Structure 1
Amino acid sequence: MKKYLLVLFSIFSLGIDAQVTLRITSIPANTPTGATIYLAGSINGWNPFDNGSIMQPDGFGTYQLTIPEGTGTVEYKFTRGSWATVEGNASGGYLPNRTFTFNGTPQTINLTIQSWEDITGGNNSTATSNVQILSPNFYIPQLDRIRRIWLYLPPDYFTSTKNYPVLYMNDGQNLFDNLTSFSGEWQVDETLNSLFEEGDYGAIVVGIDNGGSERLNEYSPWVNAQYGGGQGDEYMAFIAETLKPYIDENFRTRPEPKMNALIGSSMGALIATYGASEYPNLFGKIGSFSPAYWFALSDLNTYLGNSSDLSNLRIYFVAGQNESTAMVPNINTIRTTMQNNGLSISNTFTKFDSYGTHTEGYWRGEFGAAYQWLFVNESLSTNVIEKKKPALFQTESGNLWFNGFENETKFELFALSGQKITSLQLRNGFNSLPENLVSGIYILKSEMISKKVFKKQ
């Protein structure tokens, strides 16, 4: 009896102890003394400095990390604590993601790090010549932070007088350059350059780096009890009230909503969907790649159901069928809610791919088609910008957006009872209601436009 119990116990223990051990047996000779090597991958949100994923040195030149048994295939790389210090291939260039697959039995995988991209003695940037860093430290007043901003200009920008549509894209690190990406780049610049050579009109792309540890906080207006969030309003106010006006003032853009898109993947798609719905007066296009709607599904769905008319938006959904069990139904839920609130079927495109994965490589392959569909019906053959009609719009945060007049315009503010409260001078752009105004609903009137506005607590 004891013999049988021992056999059964050994089999049971094997199931419990199934795990994957990653073992680095060799590192580059120029690795800095005392460097800490991290694993960054799909199992830890691609965090390049995760203290729970440090490769432990054994004192004899090898580094090891044991990962409890899970399911599926894991993609990963090694870093020295940032994406600037990610491992490279034998020549110091971009190394595709490593992978391993859980199989229910213990595995030990011996690995070699061939190089570090930042100390191989060369510039391994893959960004094309018409990509530049607009600013390495663009100030975000709404969050009191700085952020690197990328700028792609069409090949004929400096040889023409054209005005261009603008794509505002999240996770800027991953758009143009393998050197800064954490899982391969989208090749936005190469794709748009190729389309331009085939006759495409061209577009400006503004890439906004994510905030690293603040990424989840900034990419959702709502708090997820487990993962954070809650700073999405401030982040979108930065794009709408600070960054876009700067771009429109300094570059030849088409500032009207139908010529401006918000595009992102995963959490970046969540904030893009919210942002265009919050600022339909500024952004008329949405590129939603593998959206992480699960992060705030109920809140987002309620918001979209109660938001302003969405009839002027155009949205491109694309995702893999097997990315997660919730991906397809969540997209269908959000799409239905948006269509019930004005989004037309003709302005909605949905694509679910059997081969789709939650990776930059997949989104890279889908970007060109999404861009072309979003702007397919727009007339871009003229440099004449449409004359703006007088417009007044209020965001959820209470700011007033006004355009359509050349100079400041006088408005009268009335209570719902008809009593005049005060006079205001509004300028084109964003304006605030008086700070001493009592919370409530008011009527704002000029000779040409009238609008209900509210003052929050």
Structure 2
Amino acid sequence: MKSWLFLICVSVQFSAQITLKVTEIPKDTPKNATIYVAGNFNGWNPNSTPLIADEKGNHSITLPDGDGTIEYKFTRGSWDTAEGNASGKAIPNRNSTFTGKPQTIEAKIISWVKTAEKASTAAKNVRLISDSFLIPQLGRTRKIWIYLPPDYETGKKKYPVIYMQDGQNLFDNSTSFSGEWEIDETLNKLFSKGDSGAIVVGIDNGGNHRIDEYSPWKNPNYGGGEGDLYADFLAKTLKPFIDKHYRTKRGKNHNALIGSSLGALISNYCGIKYHRIFSKIGSFSPAYWIVNEEFNHYIKNSDANLSKTRIYYVAGSSESKNMTKDLETVKNNLEKKGLKPENTLVKIDSYGNHNENYWKGEFAEAYQWLFKTSNTKVKKRK
């Protein structure tokens, strides 16, 4: 919260801010409740960015200068108390675009979601490993999910494994705050068409600790700095557990890391640090900006052997003015350290947005490219 109070205080220095102003809240809102905003600008943290109430009953916040499109929702401090529609069901993300001029976006909150009405959409072959899996490196616990291929219970073969960040958004709409990726439905469909299958391990993010855990370095305004320990958890604690309890292909050529936004950042970092364990990385709309200088410095000074690493990049050209530039800089620095151009695919979409719906549509191609031999293709779709 400190970082956002700081940003609010200095926002007067900027000329292209967006002010979000809630002019109406549901009648059943608890008295003196704090209204928050969560979005792609604060790691989708539901209780880190409070709006300020005025004497007229409005709730407002001015976001600092930015570019591109922001997506967001209002909450009362958790995803169990996020805004909903007239029926109390989840709504799509709100969005606003920085125009280069100050603007005020007025909004009315129709209801708060009734979480009991959200039915699970997870396939039968998705299981909860633990709702309190210990992360000894951080002294915290985490909910861990696993997707098993349709023939897992009837055979003896081993499978490659994908470790994915933001696990609550992967399989089940009832646990996601902005729509699920439908990883289970996608892989089941590919399996029915002849794909040999893969195991997917989904690690829920840390909520208030998401930015801290997904960034290896501290950003003075947003936090971070625990990503190195989180990467240790993935490589030294979680992967050995999965290999011990499930039929996995253990070699690095059969193990991938995939994430979006900050999840892409930590997947990239972990794939470099533990290049002997993971050789495939899916980087969806990577949020390199939060520690851009530090990450590129790390790459330049790394002694990692990336000759066998494959990386699939995808992003929307309109997500932010520096998204494509930052991605290309990281890619070029990795290639200077041994990443082969033929093992890199970059896809820049003019229509791509910073949200689950966009990333969901890109997963199948990323999966198929990462786990199959392919020539380099740089795709730019109009």
Work out whether the TM-score is over 0.5.
yes
What is the rounded CA distance, in whole Å, between the counterparts of 1:39 and 1:89 in structure 2? Answer: 16
Are residues 183 and 341 of structure 1, via their aligned partners in 2, closer, same or farther at CA, if it must alter by over 3 Å? same
Count, aligned residues: 358
1:365 CA drift (Å): 1.1
Deviates more, 1:361-370 or 1:186-195: 186-195
What is the rounded CA distance, in whole Å, between the counterparts of 1:324 and 1:331 in structure 2? Answer: 12
Structure 2 residue 331 is matched with structure 1 residue 335:
yes
Contact 1:28 1:113 in 2 (8 A): no
Q: Identify the structure with bigger relative contact order (alpha carbons < 8 Å, sequence gap 6+).
A: 2
Letter in 1 for 2:277: L
Contact 2:258 2:281 in 1 (8 A): yes
Deviates more, 1:217-226 or 1:348-357: 217-226
Aligned to 1:111: 108
Paired residue secondary structure (2:77): coil
What is the rounded CA distance, in whole Å, between the counterparts of 1:74 and 1:221 in structure 2? Answer: 24
Letter in 1 for 2:250: P
What is the rounded CA distance, in whole Å, between the counterparts of 2:304 and 2:267 in structure 1? Answer: 16
Paired residue secondary structure (1:52): coil
Are residues 221 and 26 of structure 1, via their aligned partners in 2, closer, same or farther at CA, if it must alter by over 3 Å? closer
Aligned to 1:132: 127
1:89 CA drift (Å): 3.7
Structure 2 residue 79 is matched with structure 1 residue 80:
no
Contact 2:69 2:319 in 1 (8 A): no
Unaligned 5+ residue runs, structure 2? Answer: 1-14, 375-382
What is the rounded CA distance, in whole Å, between the counterparts of 1:218 and 1:325 in structure 2? Answer: 25
What is the rounded CA distance, in whole Å, between the counterparts of 1:17 and 1:301 in structure 2? Answer: 29
Contact 1:217 1:231 in 2 (8 A): yes
**Per-residue displacement from partner, 1:308-367 (whole Å, max 9, x unpaired)?**
221011110111112222221222122122222221122111111111122122111111
Contact 1:320 1:354 in 2 (8 A): yes
Which of 343, 354, 357 matches 1:358?
354
- Using structure 1 for the length normalisation, give the TM-score: 0.71
What is the rounded CA distance, in whole Å, between the counterparts of 2:258 and 2:113 in structure 1? Answer: 31
- Using structure 2 for the length normalisation, give the TM-score: 0.84
What is the rounded CA distance, in whole Å, between the counterparts of 1:376 and 1:271 in structure 2? Answer: 23
Aligned to 2:208: 213
What is the rounded CA distance, in whole Å, between the counterparts of 2:256 and 2:324 in structure 1? Answer: 23
Paired residue secondary structure (2:117): coil
Aligned to 2:197: 202
1:17 CA drift (Å): 12
Contact 1:94 1:124 in 2 (8 A): no
Quote the RMSD (CA, aligned, Å). Answer: 2.9
Aligned to 1:251: 246
Structure possessing the higher radius of gyration over alpha carbons = 1
Aligned to 1:374: 370
What is the rounded CA distance, in whole Å, between the counterparts of 2:96 and 2:335 in structure 1? Answer: 41
Are residues 58 and 237 of structure 1, via their aligned partners in 2, closer, same or farther at CA, if it must alter by over 3 Å? same
Deviates more, 1:69-78 or 1:307-316: 69-78
What is the rounded CA distance, in whole Å, between the counterparts of 1:154 and 1:102 in structure 2? Answer: 43
Are residues 320 and 68 of structure 1, via their aligned partners in 2, closer, same or farther at CA, if it must alter by over 3 Å? closer
Aligned to 2:274: 279
Letter in 2 for 1:52: P
Aligned to 2:5: none
1:256 CA drift (Å): 0.8
Letter in 1 for 2:328: N
Aligned to 2:340: 344
Paired residue secondary structure (1:248): helix
Structure 2 residue 22 is matched with structure 1 residue 27:
no
- Residue identity over aligned pairs, in percent, reads 52
What is the rounded CA distance, in whole Å, between the counterparts of 1:250 and 1:21 in structure 2? Answer: 48
